[in-house]
Amino acid sequence: MTLKIGAIASGSGSNFEAIVEATKSGILKGKATVEVLLCNKAEAYCMERAKNHGIPYHLIESDKHEGTREEFDKKLVEILKEYNCELIVLVGYMRLVSPHFIRAFNRQVMNIHPALLPSFKGMHAHEDALEYGVKVSGCTVHFVDEKKDHGPIIIQKCVRVYDTDTVESLSERILEWEHKLFPKAIELYCDNRLHVDGRIVRVDGKVKYK
């Protein structure tokens, strides 16, 4: 069966588009489809990407929501359930999801972070990596739990940090791998190669990137 994916984004949506393209002509073709995009920012370009690919999208502005985080998330859950989404991917979603949201999808929620977790959590990962002077950074795909950038790690990719790097140059190099890593993590999920045991995610076989 084809896995039905729901995506949530707050920004440009380049990782969203990478996943969509993988479902149409890449490693996820015949394995998964992106059913819907939810966005919480009216100015976000991700909705234009969804429109260009013929994917339904919904704007639910968090800035205009006056209730609790859980109440906001209930709106998201309701829409995602309407599309029968089985796996939820957070593709640049700049809000922490509530325990209610995670339970609603039985913890089948993935996120990508532009650093090698558990290092450099939060919104300024590249700045923090450069300030700390690390020689290697990268990106991480992980299952989402109740804490920020904390859930079980699925796969990671190391990217070298150069002395001449800026936030822009490092983020561009890491983003190239984000676009490969997230579809790969979803492929592993589709192929039932992921086995979660507490904080440990065991992956069957070798993970190869194209």
At residue 165, the pLDDT reads: 98
Q: Does the annotation count 113 as an active-site position? A: yes
Quickly count helices (H) and strands (E) in the chain.
6, 9
Pick the catalytic residue from 58, 113, 126, 142: 113
At residue 210, the pLDDT reads: 65
What separation in angstroms does the CA of 47 have from each of 27, 42, 82, 187? 23, 9, 19, 24
The arrangement of secondary structure in 3-203, i.e. its CATH architecture, is: 3-Layer(aba) Sandwich (3.40)
Cβ contacts of 48 within 8 Å, gap of 6 or more: none
Peptide bond preceding 118 in cis form (omega within 30 of 0):
yes
Domain residue spans in the chain?
A: 3-203
pLDDT in tens, the chain (210 residues): 899 999 999 999 999 999 999 999 999 999 999 999 999 999 999 999 999 999 999 999 998 887 899 999 999 999 999 999 999 999 999 999 999 999 999 889 999 999 999 999 999 999 999 999 999 999 999 999 988 888 999 999 999 999 999 999 999 999 999 999 999 999 999 999 999 999 999 999 999 876
Give the C-alpha separation, 60 to 38, whole Å. 7
Beta bridge pairs of residue 160: 136
SS3 101: helix
